[in-house]
Amino acid sequence: MTSTSHMKAATISNYGPPEVLAIRDVPIPWPQANKVLVRVHAAAINPKDTFIRKGRFKRFTGRHFPLMTGFDFSGEVAAVGPGVMDTTVGESIYGMLDGWQGGACAEFAAVGTGHFFKKPEGLSFDEAAALPLVSLTALQALCNCGGIGSGMQVCINGASGGVGSMAVQIAKIMGAGITAVSSRQNHDFLKGLGADHCIDYRHGDIALGHPFDIFFDVFGNRPFRSVKPILSHRGVWVSTVIQPHVFLSVVLTRFFSRRKAKLVVVKSVRDDLEQVRRWVAAGLLRPIIHDVFPLEKIREAHVQQETKHTRGKIVIHIG
Ligand SMILES: NC(=O)c1ccc[n+]([C@@H]2O[C@H](COP(=O)([O-])OP(=O)(O)OC[C@H]3O[C@@H](n4cnc5c(N)ncnc54)[C@H](OP(=O)(O)O)[C@@H]3O)[C@@H](O)[C@H]2O)c1
């Protein structure tokens, strides 16, 4: 911490390349009603952070700079705002900031009560920060959108990244058969997480293992029309990408097809964080960390995230 009222935070000075990221001294946020102040020990990077930095979502993030960055966090409750009943100062928590404003890549963050839960026991702060956004996306895609159940066949495209590595583990927990799509170098890793079949997206036939009850297009390059022939009778295609063709498929299949297209838009849900914590405690789910960077190396962390070949998560260790 820099002074009693200021903290170090990764900020964005304008929309642009990683060079727009800088560590600045900014005021510590004070927790309003129903919020807590978290002393952040670790954060994690997501494609969402790099997209926001580049200005892809400027309609939501606005033009007031500097912008804060980062959504995943783990840390300790430093203060509680009015109306917060079930958390005490000093409790170790993990969670995800909702919306578009970010602020987890900082020494402190203000977090609403619905957006965090007790940190999974046995995990370090770095490990816990690697979980929220990606595990909640995978859970909400497979369970809420896909209606996953035991014995279903699930294909996960982009299986070795942040979301995919959670989706493989959660599909396994749910008793599904899993076909994982990644580069060949990640196939042993994915079999270790529970994949039954692995396909190399450069050479393999994506249809292996079909018909699929759920096709989870994590990477976002398999449109509904290309996957429809390999979906089961009432199969569901779930996409992560917010694009016009996805919205069109979602709307059209709602009325005109037994096979459905769905879009997952992750929400920070306390019950889901609790479920993830239970799975971790039972030894069924583990965070996957590609690399850990200190806050000062936030630019390097974004560069790695943008390679699109990260295995699991990039964590920011804050202290
Ligand atoms: N809608 C939502 O709520 C939501 C939530 C979370 C994420 N997302 C979106 O979901 C996408 C994935 O997020 P993420 O965090 O998992 O990203 P990520 O960690 O960067 O994903 C990287 C993975 O993608 C794989 N990959 C690279 N090229 C591929 C290809 N041609 N085909 C299949 N897989 C390929 C890589 O595998 P190899 O290294 O083996 O090549 C790598 O493991 C992003 O676009 C993100 O914005 C959306």
Question: pLDDT tens, 295-306?
Answer: 999 999 999 999
What topology is assigned to 134-263 in CATH?
Answer: Rossmann fold (3.40.50)
Ligand 1 atom 48, closest CA: 240
pLDDT at 29: 95
Ligand 1 centroid – CA 163 distance (Å): 7
Per residue in 177-190, pLDDT (tens digit) is 999 999 999 999 99
pLDDT at 1: 54
- Interval 245-257 mean pLDDT: 94
- Whether the pLDDT of residue 270 is over 70: the answer is yes
Residue 206 banded pLDDT, cuts 50, 70, 90: confident
- Interval 270-277 mean pLDDT: 98
Per residue in 136-157, pLDDT (tens digit) is 999 999 999 999 999 999 999 9
- Whether the pLDDT of residue 7 is over 70: the answer is yes
Tell whether ligand 1 has an atom less than 6 A from the beta carbon of residue 158.
Answer: yes
Tell whether ligand 1 has an atom less than 6 A from the beta carbon of residue 161.
Answer: yes
* 130, 316 contact by CB (below 8 A): no
Residue 3 banded pLDDT, cuts 50, 70, 90: low
Q: What pTM does this model have?
A: 0.97
- Whether the pLDDT of residue 129 is over 70: the answer is yes
* 232, 153 contact by CB (below 8 A): yes
* 239, 246 contact by CB (below 8 A): yes
Residue with more model confidence, 44 or 256: 44
- Whether the pLDDT of residue 13 is over 60: the answer is yes
Q: Which two tokens stand for residue 261?
A: 């297209």
Ligand 1 atom 15, closest CA: 162
- Whether the pLDDT of residue 205 is over 90: the answer is no
Query: CA-to-CA distance for 153 and 156, rounded, in angstroms?
Result: 10
pLDDT at 256: 86
The atom of ligand 1 lying closest to the CA of 202 is: 31
Residue with more model confidence, 208 or 91: 91
- Interval 124-145 mean pLDDT: 98
Q: Tally the C-alpha atoms within 13 A of residue 23's C-alpha that lie toward its C-beta.
A: 15
* Measured CA distances, 42 to 24, 38, 70, 124 (Å): 17, 11, 10, 9
Tell whether ligand 1 has an atom less than 6 A from the beta carbon of residue 312.
Answer: no
Query: CA-to-CA distance for 312 and 319, rounded, in angstroms?
Result: 21
Ligand 1 atom 24, closest CA: 158
- Whether the pLDDT of residue 209 is over 80: the answer is no
Query: CA-to-CA distance for 74 and 317, rounded, in angstroms?
Result: 10
- Interval 61-88 mean pLDDT: 96
CATH architecture classification, 6-131+287-317: Alpha-Beta Complex (3.90)
What residues does each domain of the chain span? 6-131+287-317, 134-263
Q: How many angstroms separate the most distant Cα atoms in the chain?
A: 61
Q: Which two tokens stand for residue 8?
A: 């170090």
Ligand 1 atom 13, closest CA: 163
Residue 207 banded pLDDT, cuts 50, 70, 90: confident
Percent of the chain exceeding pLDDT 70 equals: 98
The preferred substitution site among 72, 144, 240, 290 for testing ligand 1, maximizing ligand atoms within 8 Å of CB, is 240
Tell whether ligand 1 has an atom less than 6 A from the beta carbon of residue 241.
Answer: yes
- Interval 80-103 mean pLDDT: 95
